[in-house]
Chain A
Amino acid sequence: MQKVVEPKELDHIFKDDMSIMIGGFLNCGTAETVLEYVNELDLKNLTIIVNDAGFNQKSKGKFLANANINKMITSHIGTNPDIGKKMNSGEIEVELIPQGNLVEQIRCKGSGLGGVLTPIGIGTKAEKGNKVMEVDGKKYILATPLGADVAIIKAWRADQSGNLIYRYSARNFNPIMAMAADTVIVEAEEVVKNGELDNNNIETSNIFIDYIVETDSSLL
């Protein structure tokens, strides 16, 4: 099973109307080489699941500003005025979810859970559209699983089988999203031979990874 590919070999995976999960927190830990390529595909009507909208000049923020998006599920868009404008004009539907609830929803999908009970958002607009349950006299929102057709994640080092190690705070949503999509593409800054990573230090196991793309070194 050959997982290491060039971006152009990912062509068959992407389609209009699909949902895509993108790892990263602001500019940190996002698969920029893969996103540059996906932007060229001119996909329509995407649903995007992402922590934040980034900055519109760079990385995922640039991708989001240029992509044809129908709906975004996210915790924060304040750093990207282009997305704010598109939300206000009705071009993009934005569903805002508290960050910890968002990551738990994604974790539920990848972990076979029907949901988690979270106290975050009770008494606020974040309650809207969610089931509220009471346990021992305390109210919780039932946060339900959230998956995607494709996840695009970023790692520091990958071996050819797809074992991953992340670097510093670039880990963020990446290992959680790696478990929550039908097809998972990882971009790694360095792809090494099998056996070269210490088995003790693997943070995401290869079973979650379908494709590996090496970062375009001009972006590093």
Chain B
Amino acid sequence: MSELKSKIAKRIAQEIEDGDVLNLGIGIPTLVCDYIASDIEVSIHSENGLIGLDKEAEEGFEDKDIINASGRPATIKDTGSFFDTAMSFNIIRGGHLDMTVLGALQVDQKGNIANWMIPGKLVPGMGGAMDLTVGAKRVICAITHQTKKGTSKIKKECNLPLTAKGEVDLIVTELAVMKVTEEGLILQEIAEGVKLEEVIEKTEAELIISDNLKRF
């Protein structure tokens, strides 16, 4: 599983450009950090109130007042800054985030995303997920292609309560890279060693196969 997740994170890291301001969600998105090219500079925003988030704090060097959005002890770059929650969400809503990478329970061909509750089972709340999905200029969904039971998470239409409507731009799984467009969901890349038929079979959404299909 961790290998699949790393593959997703590694591919998403290639979408990041020099100077980008990013917010990375919990789970696979957090791993993206490890694969950002060493010759570019990015600023990572954390919704609890900072820009310039750096690595998690090493044991013995934790500061109770510096945490990331998962509540884990973190560090900040020399060029970082702290602010209150209102400013933090002004940054998110105001179009100042180039990209957010979010995990999900489901995503669909219209760019709808569901990642905050399963009715009757799990109601953790949306936290900042709705704000990030609507506010960021570009939304990348990092998601394994199927559930453990083998159901496709890439839907024609999400049937779980939505986090946001039509906001996802790119979906990256361990099998495929798919772009949400007005025409529909375009399959742009498939993973090395995976057959096109397998991707189509494991995807509930209707896929438009790109004329320029690539491997990743």
Residues of A whose CB lies within 8 Å of any CB of B are 25-29, 51-52, 55, 74-79, 84, 87, 94, 96, 98-101, 103-104, 107, 118-126, 156, 166-176
Contacts and interface: CB of A to CB of B under 8 A. Distances in A.
B123 A84 contact: yes
B125 A125 contact: no
| B69, B76, B89: most-surrounded residue (chain A CB, <10 A) | B89
B48 A100 contact: no
Q: Which A-B residue pairs are the 5 nearest by beta carbons?
A: A78-B124, A100-B89, A123-B165, A26-B71, A76-B125
A172 B125 CA distance: 18
Interface in B109-143: 122-131, 134-135
A84 B123 CA distance: 8
Contact of B84 (A76, A119, A174): A174
Given A75-B125, A99-B47, A26 B67 contact: yes
B83 A171 contact: yes
A137 B181 CA distance: 21
A168 B63 contact: yes
A123 B49 contact: no
Contact of B65 (A74, A77, A98, A170): A170
Contacts of B66: 168-169
Given A75-B126, A98-B126, A169-B50, A27 B71 contact: yes
Contacts of A51: 85
A28 B93 CA distance: 23
B200 interface: no
A99 B66 CA distance: 19
A120 B48 contact: no
Given A123-B164, A124-B161, A172 B127 contact: no
Interface residues of B, number: 40
A176 B84 CA distance: 8
B130 A120 contact: yes
Contacts of B128: 75, 98-100
11 contacts: A52-B125, A84-B123, A98-B129, A100-B93, A119-B134, A120-B130, A121-B130, A124-B161, A168-B63, A169-B48, A173-B85
Given A78-B124, A168-B63, A124 B85 contact: no
Nearest to B71: A26
A171 B128 CA distance: 17
B99 interface: no
B213 interface: no
Contacts of B47: 99
Contacts of B100: none
A104 B129 CA distance: 16
A61 B32 CA distance: 30
A155 to B, nearest CB: 11
A192 B131 CA distance: 38
A166 B49 CA distance: 12
Contacts of A167: 65
B82 interface: yes
Nearest to B133: A120
A96 B129 CA distance: 12
Interface in B153-181: 161-166
Contacts of A174: 84
B86 interface: yes
B48 A25 contact: yes
